[in-house]
């Protein structure tokens, strides 16, 4: 039987691991392992000691955190008013104001030229004409619009290879591909 290179590497790795384990057990085994009390193992002793340390640390941290709150310490400093200290995690007012929507316009503006406003306010990105010139879809402002559907008050009535025609109250608006 002939061993492949992969099998040889695996066998060598296993031999090194077993050798390391044997050396560890012979030279590095602690002498106190035999001195464990008859009722408990050495591992149980270590775990119990660790749990006691953790319980003590947690209890002292909780009492220290209650006694040593930063706000309590700041209240004792003369000339510092805790109520006037800015929250460091609050965003700057310039950032908050920049994301506020503009105030709503209560007065209604009269539309002087609805076609120009519609053409200026919408962008035609793609046209997918139907078979035989019937139907089809247009991609207007990132939304798919089928022939007969509306964008706002404007209804898509026809498509060409480079444009989409909309109507509203007898007015016609044509969006062209860029």
What is the reported pLDDT for 44? 72
Q: Which one, of 108, 118, 126, lies nearest residue 168 by Cα? A: 118
**pLDDT, the chain, mean:** 77
Q: Which of 35-39, 55-59, 93-97, 147-151 has the highest average model confidence (pLDDT)? A: 147-151
- The string of pLDDT tens digits covering residues 66-92 is 556 666 777 777 877 767 767 777 777
pLDDT at residue 115 greater than cutoff 90: no
- The correct answer on CATH 2.60.40 for the domain covering 114-176 is no
Annotated domain spans of the chain = 1-102, 114-176
**Other CB atoms closer than 10 Å to residue 178's CB: what's the count?**
6
* Residue 87 token pair: 């929250």
> At residue 175, does pLDDT exceed 80?
yes
> Structure pTM?
0.38
Q: Tell me the pLDDT tens digit for each residue of 12-69.
A: 999 999 998 888 888 877 655 555 455 556 677 777 777 777 777 666 655 555 556 6
């Amino acid at each position: 039987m002939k061993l492949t290179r992969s099998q040889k590497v695996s066998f060598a790795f296993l031999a090194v691991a077993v050798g390391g384990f044997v050396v560890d057990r012979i030279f590095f085994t602690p002498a106190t392992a035999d001195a464990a009390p008859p009722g408990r193992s050495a591992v149980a002793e270590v775990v119990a000691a660790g749990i006691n340390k953790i319980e003590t640390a947690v209890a002292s941290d909780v009492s220290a955190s209650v006694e040593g709150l930063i706000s309590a310490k700041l209240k004792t400093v003369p000339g510092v008013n805790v109520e006037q200290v800015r929250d460091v995690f609050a965003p700057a007012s310039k950032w908050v104001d920049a994301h506020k929507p503009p105030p709503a316009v209560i007065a209604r503006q009269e539309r002087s030229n609805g076609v120009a406003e519609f053409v200026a306010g919408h962008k035609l990105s793609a046209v997918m004409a139907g078979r035989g010139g019937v139907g089809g879809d247009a991609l207007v402002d990132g939304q798919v619009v089928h022939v007969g559907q509306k964008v706002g008050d404007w209804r898509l009535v026809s498509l060409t290879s480079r444009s989409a025609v909309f109507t509203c109250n007898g007015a016609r608006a044509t969006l062209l591909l860029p």
